[in-house]
């Protein structure tokens, strides 16, 4: 088991954001985490990758509220729930956040270099860059272009490419289809399926349930900060309550 989450809870003051979450991702899988807006999907990824702890440090000693985290997160055999975010990255657990967030004033190539900051091996960098350019040829053509001038679809490809430059064992991708036209969404999902074929384990957060279920090994449904259902696509779609209440189908 590559990632295991046990009884993970996150609260902000008295508001419970995540409640007793348990889930797992095995090596080689593409696992989908789906659910409505505000369900807590992005908070869960932030908790796994140490960013909630960062929130807690920022709020400490300010007028802001207190963030608390309880439970266990194990990645590749190591407990990481108290580990700093940059050390979690070093283990190969990489978070590609929602809404793309490129370094807008930097070129495409410099963004990709930023993704490779952990490695000083030039050959590894060139090999990884070649893989990213093969996966996203448009980025090679835009290498010297300022990333803030890219289209939304190109910025999403850049965000995923930058994450791949970090050499992920597990790549967590948050809402990659947000704000994209249907044709671009299909292209992004096709690329994510290709990434899995390259041997990268993927945890995919999405609302495009019908598309994601065609790609995923297993699925978790999150609502109001809790896992309300889990299983294969056929199993979840056969449950009328899950389908109508949580999946909007």
pLDDT of 3 reads 98
pLDDT in tens, 182-236: 888 889 999 999 999 999 999 999 988 888 999 999 999 999 999 999 999 999 9
Residue 2: other Cβ atoms inside 10 A: 20
Share of the chain above pLDDT 70, in %: 94
**Model confidence band, residue 243 (pLDDT cutoffs 50, 70, 90):** confident
Q: Are 177 and 208 in contact (CB under 8 A)?
A: yes
C-alpha angle 105-108-110 in degrees, rounded to nearest 5:
75
Rounded CA-CA distance 206/135 in Å is: 21
162 phi/psi in degrees, rounded to 5: -60, -40
Rounded CA-CA distance 92/125 in Å is: 15
207 phi/psi in degrees, rounded to 5: -110, -15
Q: List the domains of the chain with CATH numbers.
A: 3-100+171-246 (3.40.50.300)
pLDDT in tens, 144-178: 999 999 998 899 999 999 999 999 999 999 999 88
Mean pLDDT calculated for residue range 89-110:
90
Residue linked to tokens 């000083």: 120
pLDDT of 182 reads 87
Top pLDDT among 130 and 245 is at 130
And the tokens for 68?
């608390």
And the tokens for 119?
């490695």
Rounded CA-CA distance 155/148 in Å is: 8
Rounded CA-CA distance 207/112 in Å is: 27
Residue 36: other Cβ atoms inside 10 A: 15
pLDDT of 58 reads 52
Mean residue pLDDT of the chain comes to 90
**Model confidence band, residue 106 (pLDDT cutoffs 50, 70, 90):** very high
Rounded CA-CA distance 200/208 in Å is: 21
**Model confidence band, residue 55 (pLDDT cutoffs 50, 70, 90):** low
């Amino acid at each position: 088991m590559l990632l295991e989450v046990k009884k993970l809870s996150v609260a902000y003051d008295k508001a419970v954001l995540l409640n007793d979450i348990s889930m797992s991702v095995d090596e080689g899988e593409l696992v989908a985490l789906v659910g409505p807006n505000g369900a807590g999907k992005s908070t869960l990824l932030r908790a796994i990758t140490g960013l909630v702890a960062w929130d807690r440090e920022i709020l400490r000693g300010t007028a802001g509220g207190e963030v608390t985290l309880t439970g266990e997160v194990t990645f590749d055999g190591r407990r990481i729930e108290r580990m700093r975010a940059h050390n979690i990255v070093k283990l190969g657990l990489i978070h590609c956040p929602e809404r793309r967030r490129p370094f807008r004033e930097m070129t495409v190539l410099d963004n990709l270099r930023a993704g490779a900051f952990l490695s000083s091996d030039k050959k590894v960098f060139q090999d990884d860059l070649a893989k990213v350019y093969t996966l996203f040829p448009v980025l090679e053509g835009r290498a010297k272009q300022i990333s803030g001038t890219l289209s939304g679809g190109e910025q999403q490809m850049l965000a995923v490419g930058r994450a791949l430059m970090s050499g992920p064992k597990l790549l967590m991708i948050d809402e990659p289809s947000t704000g994209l036209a249907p044709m671009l969404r299909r292209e992004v999902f096709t690329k994510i399926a290709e990434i899995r074929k390259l041997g990268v384990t993927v945890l995919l957060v999405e609302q495009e349930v019908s598309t994601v279920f065609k790609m995923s090994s297993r699925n978790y449904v999150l609502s109001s900060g809790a896992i309300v259902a889990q299983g294969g696509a056929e199993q979840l779609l056969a449950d009328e309550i899950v389908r109508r209440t949580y999946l909007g189908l």
